[in-house]
């Protein structure tokens, strides 16, 4: 299993040809209390960098971008009823969607955990 990160603070945890997508702890912290999550439909085709979901907090609404291109094969159907899971456990119970990767080579443009940690240091 590999986890990669975007500069927009999304993560994708890849197992085989399916990736689980969510927002990082940094992102949920910046957003504040999440009050609403809009998830994509199953089967929706996403393009790398395109809107995958919407998250709203007490501070702002924000898009969650697809870290890679592919097809939505699962969504976290618990989030609409308990959006606070995004704050409580962003890398666990607070995941947004699962995507079947269209092109695994797109992962190469994303940051490793160490690179993401360095990136966070550079922006704070």
Confidence of residue 87 (pLDDT cuts 50, 70, 90): very high
Q: Distance between CA 99 and CA 116 in Å, rounded? A: 21
pLDDT one-digit tens code per residue, 1-50: 899 999 999 999 999 999 999 999 999 999 999 999 999 999 999 999 99
Residue ranges per structural domain of the chain: 2-101
Confidence of residue 71 (pLDDT cuts 50, 70, 90): very high
Question: For domain 2-101, which architecture applies?
Answer: Beta Barrel (2.40)
How high is the pLDDT of residue 124?
79
The pLDDT of residue 103 is above 90: yes
- On average, the pLDDT of the chain sits at 97
């Amino acid at each position: 299993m590999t986890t990669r990160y975007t500069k927009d603070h999304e993560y994708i945890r890849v197992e085989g040809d399916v990736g689980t997508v969510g927002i990082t702890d940094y992102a949920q912290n910046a957003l504040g209390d999440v009050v609403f999550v809009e998830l994509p439909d199953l089967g929706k085709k996403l393009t790398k960098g395109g809107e995958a979901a919407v998250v709203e907090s007490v501070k702002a609404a924000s898009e969650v971008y697809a870290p890679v291109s592919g097809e939505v094969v699962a969504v976290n159907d618990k989030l609409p009823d308990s959006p606070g899971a995004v704050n409580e456990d962003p890398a666990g119970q607070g995941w947004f969607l699962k995507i079947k990767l269209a092109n695994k080579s797109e992962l190469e443009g994303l940051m490793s955990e160490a690179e993401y940690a360095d990136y966070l240091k550079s922006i704070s």
